[in-house]
Amino acid sequence: MDQLLVALDVDSSDRAFELTDQLRDVAGGFKIGSRLFCAEGPQLVRDLVSSGHRIFLDLKYHDIPTTVDAAVRAASELGVWMVTVHASGGYDMLVAAKEAAARVEGGPKIVAVTVLTSFDDRNLHSLGVSRSVRQQVESLAQLAKSAGIDGVVASPLEIELIRKVCGDEFIVVTPGIRNPTTDKLNDQKRTMDAAAAIQAGASYLVVGRPITQAVDPLTAALEITQQISKHG
């Protein structure tokens, strides 16, 4: 199921390969974040790409344009499929990221993180942002699109809003996928189940702990793909 991206929120390449071997037939790709990347480095990314997996490198680059240009170019040369940057890095940084990916043959899609799913209005206001989460997501999504970015990362609660202002071709990657009756929310505040997120218009769903920490990860993943297939 191409729309399911499994977050490899683990600490070792052995566990990462165990999960990718189990889930290769049901996952559309695998997300590597800072936890696993810092533990195992770029070689793991190369190995997974060489094994035929689509890798979503989620390091959320946020720096001056020159630095982000170099970082995205390095990520692109690993052969990854998609890379994250922070939309709040601004227009020039976003353009630099997109241009860096374009300079590498077969370079990755670039998606911009809007507002983390652990945030609510109170968290934003504590940072001096007077807008609501919805207003901030809308503004950052429009900024990303204007810079030529392929899409955004946002909670499922903002999918329909993003579709309205950015159109149907814009990629919307959605973490915060939880079954509210059975899954622990952990630090997630803006969540939705898989079926509802697909109905709302998500391009891809990122699911980590409900799969990787399940007693049977394959069964957990299959349950989510069944929800996706009913509404995709």
Q: Which residues does 80 contact at the CB level (< 8 Å), separation at least 6?
A: 45, 49, 55, 56, 57, 108
Beta-bridged to residue 57, according to DSSP, are: 32, 83
Q: Minimal CA–CA distance to 5: which of 215, 202, 214, 230?
A: 202
Contact 86, 73 (CB under 8 A): no
Q: Rounded to a whole number, what is the distance in angstroms from the first to the last CA of the chain?
A: 10
pLDDT of residue 181: 46
**47 pLDDT more than 70:** yes
Using a pLDDT cut of 90, give the percent of the chain over it.
Answer: 81
Q: Can you tell me the mean pLDDT for 211-222?
A: 94
Instruction: Specify the pLDDT at position 1.
Output: 60
pLDDT of residue 139 exceeding 90 = yes
Name the band, by pLDDT with cuts 50, 70 and 90, for residue 227: confident
Q: Using only the alpha carbons of the chain, give its radius of gyration.
A: 17
110 vs 91: CA distance, rounded Å? 14
Active site residue 60: yes
Question: For the whole prediction, is pTM greater than 0.95?
Answer: no
Q: Residue 127: pLDDT above 70?
A: yes
Say which of 60, 145, 164, 230 is annotated catalytic.
60
DSSP string for residues in 163-231: HHHH-SSSEEEE--B--TTTS--TT--S-B-HHHHHHHT-SEEEE-HHHHTSSSHHHHHHHHHHHHHHH
pLDDT at 232 over 70: no
Collapsed DSSP state (helix, strand, coil) of residue 84 = strand
Per-residue tokens: 98: 């997109």
* CA nearest neighbour of 192 among 212, 217, 172: 172
Q: What is the DSSP letter of 108?
A: P
Q: Is it the case that residue 143 has pLDDT exceeding 50?
A: yes
Q: Does the domain at residues 4-231 carry the CATH identifier 3.20.20.70?
A: yes
Please state the separation of Cα 190 from the chain's center in Å. Answer: 15
pLDDT tens for residues 49-99?
Answer: 999 999 999 999 999 999 999 999 999 999 999 999 999 999 999 999 999
Q: Is the pLDDT of residue 231 over 70?
A: no
Question: What number is the average pLDDT over the span 31-60?
Answer: 97
Average pLDDT over residues 37-48: 97
